[in-house]
């Protein structure tokens, strides 16, 4: 069940970035890469509560991202940074020492 919800969130975030950054290939590529990187970074999370926290955080990011307009200044584009991070104590399975 969680796997489906995570994949659905990933697709939703990708679609949102496509609509928000339409017409700006550099910003779109950066957003796409950031989303992919953050999901890959948390691939090893196995705790159900940690996964739920990450899903909720992703939904919150999507809500903010989709309801906000991009701020543009000459030659500068500010984009939202997706940050999916959890404390080490929340069930991350990794070979790295705690």
Per-residue confidence (pLDDT) for residue 27, from 0 to 100: 87
Domain presence at residue 64:
yes
Say what the pTM is: 0.67
Task: Give the number of other Cβ atoms within 10 Å of residue 48's Cβ.
Answer: 11
Per-residue confidence (pLDDT) for residue 96, from 0 to 100: 47
Report d(CA 28, CA 17) in Å as an integer: 6
Per-residue confidence (pLDDT) for residue 49, from 0 to 100: 92
Domain presence at residue 13:
yes
Domain presence at residue 66:
yes
Domain that holds residue 19: 2-85
Per-residue pLDDT for the chain (98 aa), expressed as one digit of tens each? 588 999 999 999 999 988 888 888 898 899 999 999 999 999 999 999 999 999 999 998 888 777 765 555 444 444 444 454 554 544 445 444 44
Domain presence at residue 96:
no
Domain presence at residue 57:
yes
Number of domains in the chain: 1
Domain presence at residue 74:
yes
Domain presence at residue 80:
yes
Asked if 81 and 30 count as a contact pair (C-beta separation under 8 A), the reply is no
Report d(CA 98, CA 84) in Å as an integer: 18
């Amino acid at each position: 069940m969680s796997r489906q919800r995570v994949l659905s969130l990933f697709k939703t975030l990708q679609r949102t970035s496509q609509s928000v950054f339409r017409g700006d290939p550099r910003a779109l590529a950066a957003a796409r890469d950031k989303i992919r990187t953050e999901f890959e970074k948390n691939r090893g999370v196995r705790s159900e509560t940690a996964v739920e926290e990450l899903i909720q955080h992703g939904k919150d990011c999507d809500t903010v991202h989709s309801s906000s307009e991009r701020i543009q200044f000459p030659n500068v584009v500010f984009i939202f940074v997706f940050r999916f991070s959890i404390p080490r104590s929340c069930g991350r399975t990794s070979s790295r020492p705690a």
